[in-house]
Structure formats: structure tokens, C-alpha cells
Amino acid sequence: MMSTARSKKQIFLVCAVLHGLNHAFQVFLPPLYLAIKDDLGLEGLSPVMLFGTIYFATYAVMSLPYGILADRFSKKKILIFGAVLNSLAFLLVAGTRSYTIFVIAMILAGLGGGTYHPVGTALISNLFKGMVGRAFGLIGMGACFGLFVGPSASGLIAEEFGWRVTCLCFAIFGCVVAAAFGLIMPEEESVQSQRVESTIPIRAFFLALLPVIVVFGLRDFCLWGTIYVTPAMTQVNLGFSKKAAGLLIGLMSLTGIISQPLAGTLSDRVGRRRVISLTLVLSGIAVLLFPYLNERMLFVAALVGGFMLLATVPVIDATAADTFLLPFEEVFSA
């Protein structure tokens, strides 16, 4: 793959931008939930918050199929397909007044967004062997920037032009990023030749990966639950505007620009488990305080919680990569 004239730095940058787009799509809707509820004439916030559940359920279910496809077909084309589908789904959202169509759009968005992590992670693991933790941490900076820009920009745009224009803007931006990725990212030289038939027993496969799945799942329950619930909570209980609510979770996510490369590099030196344990404990304490704080202290707790939660991302990703880059006997003895 690297025999092309394009450098690793270009590939690194375009992967980071695509990662940021993927996460921006995940978080730009929560600051708009109250406006969407009123526009669609829904009672209560539960029907609107269900959109996030539908999106992530689809996203999660598709991880394994996309991972299998990534081992057999062009990772570049799969990632472009996902970015375009994700973008078009929010274009559909911008034009609908039907709750049913909105639900269908969230399923389509999940189908598109679900491509990035299994496919992109495999791509990065192949490119940066020997420095996987640092690579995931640095590319994670793109994700954190997307997590910041997504809610911050959506709240700002929605205050001036409404939530539908916000969805339209994000859809257009997504298509632009997908096109740029297609132009800059080189095609893999020999996709089929990279296939390696696994001789690992299926039971050993899942036993090795189970701890990663459990920790990843619990971390995401806290991270995404906080990101999706907090904007509506602050608007209802503290009187935040859409712009302020979006800025809060945007700043929470922005801290990962520092914590992800720091934690990823640190985990390469002192071990994955130590870094994961420390950051999860500290983030849990910060999030636990959220409902009891005033406006100023809530911003402080959000920054601390976001810093620690997002620090776990490259470390958990690197742990998963280590599981299959190392011989299995080393994994179980680690």
C-alpha cells in the first residue's frame, strides 16, 4: 500500500479527518433534540432520544459484518461508501416531517457510520505496526475534533437557521470529506493477497477478545450516555441554549485531543491495563457528579470526565489490536 507516491502523513491526515467526520455525525443531533421534538409534535423527549439508540444499535450490529468485508475487499471503498451513506441519511432527515422516515434515516446513518471503526482500525493497525497505541492516539485527535465541532457547530447553526438547515450543512460537508478521502487515499495494492485464513479456535478467539468487549461496552455506556443525555438535561434544568448545550459536550470531547495521544503513548510504555483502570475510575467519579453541579462546576466536571473517558479510546483500540498481532499464548499470559 505504501509503494504509492503518497506519504504516510497524508494517509494519516485523511484518516484522522474521516474519523472526525464519523464522530461529528454521532453527536451533532443531541443539542437539537428539543427543537426536533417541537417540530415533529412529539410528546416528551423519549421518542427523540430513541433516534440515538437506533443509530448506535445499527452501528454496533454492523461492526462484525464490516470487519469481515474489510478482510476481503477494499477498505478504501468501504469507508467511502459508509461516509456517503451517513451523509445522505442526514440529508433525508433534513427534509422529512415523518417520525417513521426519521427512524429509517437513523438506521441508514448507522449502516454508514458503522463502517469506520472496524475498517479504519484494521487499516491503521496494518500501517503503524510497532506504534499502534501512538497511532490510534494521534488519529483519535481527529475524532475528538469532530466530537467538538459536531455539537458546537450544530448548536450555533441551529440557533440562527434551525435544525433542518443544520442537518443539511452536515450532510453536504460529509459528502465533501468522502470525496477528499477518495482522492487522497491510495487503493490497497493487492486486497486479496492480504487475506490470511485464521487457524485460531473460535472459542479462544472470543475468550481473548471478551475482556476488551466488556470494558469497551461499559466505557461507551458512560461516554455516549453522557453525551446524549447532558444537552437536554442542561436545556431543561439549567436553561441552556442550544449553542451552550452543544458547546458543553463539544468542550468535553475536545479534551481528547490532548488525552488520546498522551494515553496512547503512555500505554505503549507502562501497559494498557494500568492506563485503562486509572482513567475509567477518574472519569466515573466526574460523571457521577454531573446532576448535582451548577453551571460553572458542570463545565469543569465535563472537561475532567471527557479527558479521562476519551483517554481510554486509543488504549482499548490498541489492546484489541495487540490481541491479534501477538501470539495468543502471549495474550493470555499478559
3-state DSSP of the chain: CCCCCCCHHHHHHHHHHHHHHHHHHHHCCHHHHHHHHHHHCCCCCHHHHHHHHHHHHHHHHCHHHHHHHHCCCCHHHHHHHHHHHHHHHHHHHHHCCCHHHHHHHHHHHHHHHCCHHHHHHHHHHHHCCCCHHHHHHHHHHHHHHHHHHHHHHHHHHHHHHCHHHHHHHHHHHHHHHHHHHHHHCCCCCCCHHHCCCCCCCHHHHHHHHHHHHHHHHHHHHHHHHHHHHHHHHHHHHCCCCHHHHHHHHHHHHHCHHHHHHHHHHHHHHHCHHHHHHHHHHHHHHHHHCHHHCCHHHHHHHHHHHHHHHHHHHHHHHHHHHHHHHCCHHHHHHC
Out of 3.40.50.1820, 1.20.1250.20, 2.60.120.200, 3.40.50.150, select the CATH number for domain 8-333. Answer: 1.20.1250.20
What are the boundaries of each domain within the chain? 8-333
Q: Specify the pLDDT at position 58.
A: 93
pLDDT in tens, 108-122: 999 999 998 888 877
Q: Specify the pLDDT at position 112.
A: 92
Q: Specify the pLDDT at position 148.
A: 86
pLDDT in tens, 61-114: 888 888 888 778 888 889 999 999 999 999 999 999 999 999 999 999 999 999
Show the low-confidence residues of the chain (pLDDT under 70).
1-8, 127-134, 137, 187-206, 208, 317, 320-334
Show the cell assigned to 254: 475536545
Q: Specify the pLDDT at position 155.
A: 87
* pTM higher than the cut 0.85: no
